[in-house]
Chains A and B, each alone.
Chain A
Amino acid sequence: MPVFKAPFNGYSVKFSPFYESRLAVATAQNFGILGNGRIHVLELAPGAPGVTESVSYDTADAVYDVCWSESHDSVLIAAIGDGSVKIYDTALPPPSNPIRSFQEHAREVQSVDYNPTRRDSFLTSSWDDTVKLWAMDRPASVRTFKEHAYCVYQAVWNPKHGDVFASASGDCTLRIWDVREPGSTMIIPAHDFEILSCDWNKYDDCILATSSVDKTVKVWDVRSYRVPLAVLNGHGYAVRKVKFSPHRRSLIASCSYDMSVCLWDYMVEDALVGRYDHHTEFAVGIDMSVLVEGLMASTGWDELVYVWQQGMDPRAS
């Protein structure tokens, strides 16, 4: 299975929506607490178990998240610790990058997500308690969403409705927004502790999952949001990221400060269907490929990026 050793601690990993063999990794020096960051663009060697770096970009501060554009195969967007949002074009040489940089967030930008349906906009969420909406052709943010009372750790677009997104915050609420509405359309007090991540189901546009400091992943249906559809217990520490599978309706991947990556089927009685303990430090980034079914990638503070097929051992070589 491909493994990549980065010089800094990993924070996020994302598969390209255009190329099966390409992924981007966000990393930060000194665990993202102090120092520089770097974005790596990796290529998986066809057939053979190997991974190579095709290009990397240095940043003055930690890179907490990265995402690919859904409209241009070579465009990357990064969430930076100094509050900036930077756009890179991997088709251009490093000196030409970033091609644009926005400095609007007052504090660390924690997540970035590209709109998969409209393909012309993206969201960023920040420790300044806000979420911002950006359009690729605008010089500044289009809008700022200000209802959260603490760090917003994730903002993610609904896979089917181009104007709807969800945001997860340390204020213990999950909020559903429609960019056409003045305020959030729904507030779900999803956990008693900080919510670190959320993701929409790819097959049912009303279902989403949240992960929290309380060590659980919860699955919610916005049509009956008072009680979660499922509560997934099994992680030993806060669950840092949660991701729905693009290929199986009820499959969820999560990664945690307990250094493990878990696979869950929330519609099954015994929901934990797999656990991978390949990381030797906090596991903080997880992604599933939309182009290759069952292909997963994870990264953690052990400076490693693993890519493996579901059911296999990530460390096998």
Chain B
Amino acid sequence: MEKATERQRILLRHLQPSSSSDASLSASACLSKDSAAYQYGDDVVIVAAQRTALCKAKRGSFKDTFPDELLASVLRALIEKTNVNPSEVGDIVVGTVLGPGSQRASECRMAAFYAGFPETVPIRTVNRQCSSGLQAVADVAAAIKAGFYDIGIGAGLESMTTNPRGWKGSVNPNVKKFEQAHNCLLPMGITSENVAHRFNVSREEQDQAAVDSHRKAASATASGKFKDEITPVKTKIVDPKTGDEKPITVSVDDGIRPNTTLSGLAKLKPVFKEDGTTTAGNSSQLSDGAGAVLLMRRNVAMQKGLPILGVFRTFSAVGVDPAIMGVGPAVAIPAAVKAAGLELNDVDLFEINEAFASQFVYCRNKLGLDAEKINVNGGAIAIGHPLGATGARCVATLLHEMKRRGKDCRFGVVSMCIGSGMGAAAVFERGGGVDELCDVRKV
């Protein structure tokens, strides 16, 4: 049997990918096959993913922190963790929703300087509502794939303390003529009620999802699972009475309530509809926080000797009925998984944003997902949902959990619903500890 193993080894060496990809022209003929061999070196991989703790808006540990300081913390963390020369970064894309457009863009630029990036590194923002952080990661992956640059950062930033939600200005009267346009004005909580009502998601199911979220998040925090992904932030907190400033280091999410119970949640009154089911307890929390993901071409990562945390595989953004915007993941996830050439059963781990328990429960049931695979360390109901940062936060949480699980976990999915009726999802593959690189596909 040793002889067979040895022969197999010799044969497999013939099939190793040639990492020195030829720059010379390839001859071709009319008889050419329609698909070229797969080039592993061109994969877009993630070598680091970090986030800040997520803290309650207005009342949490980041209530007196400037938004750009949050972003600077995670950008600096990526550089320190990998020792990548910041000047090699081709672009930084920041998902962010509520900050005023051009001011937020300038704040992000300032944050890059605080983090040690030279003026030669550009930065921009992207807003696809609740999926902006994920969209930022996808934009960078697409740019690397397109060859615009080899190294990029997809990030997310939100301070709901500084920039609360709200519609500014008047509404175009035409909105009355188009029901779907009108439904874009619905408060998010009303869309949650619509999902619960239309798809019969009971109050109890929603409250149970909230209890699970808090329980899992508390357990993850207690066992130190978030330590690797959370970057401590040195900041200050101001006593509202005396005005005294006190320096603090924030490294723990402060919205998690370990003692949450079904009976406790049952006492809460619905917020958006008199006889509704959506409460403050089974909705995501308004939060402050940031996240960032360092992506590069696999060739570059191997050349730098950086461990690969994950591989970016596919991204899908889809449109759905604005009145029930929460169903977005149920449409986006199958699209992204299919684009990756996989089945839902092939996915080992999901991070699905819990904007509201109703839409979370609906999407889980609609897709027939195993609850043991979803938000295994809690979700936005417990941890928080800083709109533009959530996508990057979920990527960091997913990849770190995949790394912990090792070979038992090969594919992961991040997804969220999007206000005004969209869904987004991305498929990642675990990068570290896989079998030696090989062109042979397992049967």
Please say whether chains A and B are actual partners in one complex.
yes
Contact between A237 and B31, CB atoms less than 8 A apart? no
Q: Is the interface of A mostly helix, strand, loop or mixed?
A: loop
B-side contacts of A240, CB under 8 Å: 14
Candidates B7, B33, B37; contact of A275 at CB < 8 Å: B33
Contact B15 A233 (CB under 8 A): no
**Contact call B28/A194, Cβ cutoff below 8 A:** no
Q: How far is the CA of A240 from the CA of B29 in the complex (A)?
A: 20
What is the CA–CA distance of A170 and B11 in the complex, to the nearest angstrom?
A: 11
B7 to chain A, nearest CB (A): 5
Given contacts A33-B4, A151-B10, A237-B37, is CB(A213)–CB(B18) below 8 Å? yes
Q: CB distance A234 to B14 under 8 Å?
A: no
A81, A213, A273: the one contacting B13 at CB < 8 Å is A213
A94, B406: Cα distance in complex, Å: 55
Partner pick for B7 among A33, A214, A231, CB 8 A cutoff: A33
Question: CB within 8 A of B8: which of A33, A214, A237, A275?
Answer: A33
A215 CB contacts on chain B under 8 angstroms: 18, 22, 37
A127 at the interface (CB under 8 A from B): yes
Task: Sort chain A's interface into a size bin.
Answer: 35 or more
Inter-subunit contact A234/B31 (CB<8 Å): no
Query: Which range contains the number of B residues in contact with the other chain?
Result: 20 to 34
**A114 close to B (CB within 8 Å):** no
Q: Hey, which chain B residues are within 8 Å of A192, CB to CB? A: 18, 20
**A26 → B minimal CB distance (Å):** 15
Q: Indicate if the CB atoms of A275 and B4 lie closer than 8 Å.
A: no
Given contacts A213-B18, A214-B20, contact A275 B13 (CB under 8 A): no
Residues of A within 8 Å of B205, CB to CB, are: none
- Evaluate contact between B37 and A236: CB separation under 8 angstroms: yes
Interface flag for B345 (CB, 8 Å): no
Which residues 14-55 of B have a CB within 8 angstroms of A? Answer: 14-16, 18, 20, 22, 24-29, 31-33, 36-37
* A245 adjacent to chain B (CB < 8 Å): no
User: Which of B7, B24, B31, B33 contacts A233, CB < 8 Å?
Assistant: B24
B20 neighbours in A (Cβ, 8 Å)? 192, 214
Of A37-45, A96-104, A257-265, the one with at least 4 CB within 8 A of chain B = A257-265
Q: How far is the CA of A224 from the CA of B11 in the complex (A)?
A: 32
Task: State whether the Cβ of B107 lies closer than 8 Å to any Cβ in chain A.
Answer: no
Interchain CB contact under 8 A, A238 and B22: no
- Chain B residues in 8 Å Cβ range of A277: 31, 33
Residues A276 and B31 in contact, CB atoms below 8 Å apart: yes
Q: Which residues of B contact A236 (CB under 8 A)?
A: 33, 36-37
Known contacts A194-B13, A240-B14, A275-B32; A234 and B26 CB within 8 A of each other: yes
A274 to B33, CA, bound (A): 11
Contact partners of A127 in chain B: CB under 8 A: 10
B439 interface residue, CB < 8 Å from A? yes
**Closest A-chain residue to B25, C-beta based?**
A233
* Minimum C-beta distance from B64 to chain A (A): 58
Q: Give CA–CA (A30, B21) in the complex, Å.
A: 32
Q: Which chain B residues border A181 with CB–CB below 8 Å?
A: none
Q: Which residues of A contact B24 (CB under 8 A)?
A: 231, 233
Which B residues lie within 8 Å of A258 (CB)?
33, 37
Contacts of B13 in A (CB 8 A): 170, 194, 213
Report Cα–Cα, A273/B350, bound state, in Å: 49
| In contact, A108 and B31 (Cβ under 8 angstroms) | no
Given contacts A33-B7, A214-B18, A237-B15, contact A272 B28 (CB under 8 A): yes
Residues of A within 8 A of B (CB): 31-34, 81, 108, 127, 151, 170, 192-194, 196, 213-216, 231-234, 236-238, 240, 257-258, 260, 264, 270-277
The 6 closest A-B CB pairs, nearest first, are: A236-B37, A272-B27, A275-B31, A34-B4, A233-B26, A238-B14
A-B contact pairs, 23 of them (CB 8 A): A31-B11, A108-B7, A151-B10, A170-B10, A170-B13, A192-B18, A196-B14, A213-B18, A215-B18, A231-B22, A231-B24, A233-B22, A233-B27, A234-B26, A234-B27, A236-B36, A236-B37, A237-B15, A238-B14, A257-B14, A264-B27, A275-B31, A275-B32
Using CB atoms and an 8 Å cutoff, list the residues of chain B in contact with chain A.
1, 3-4, 7-8, 10-11, 13-16, 18, 20, 22, 24-29, 31-33, 36-37, 439
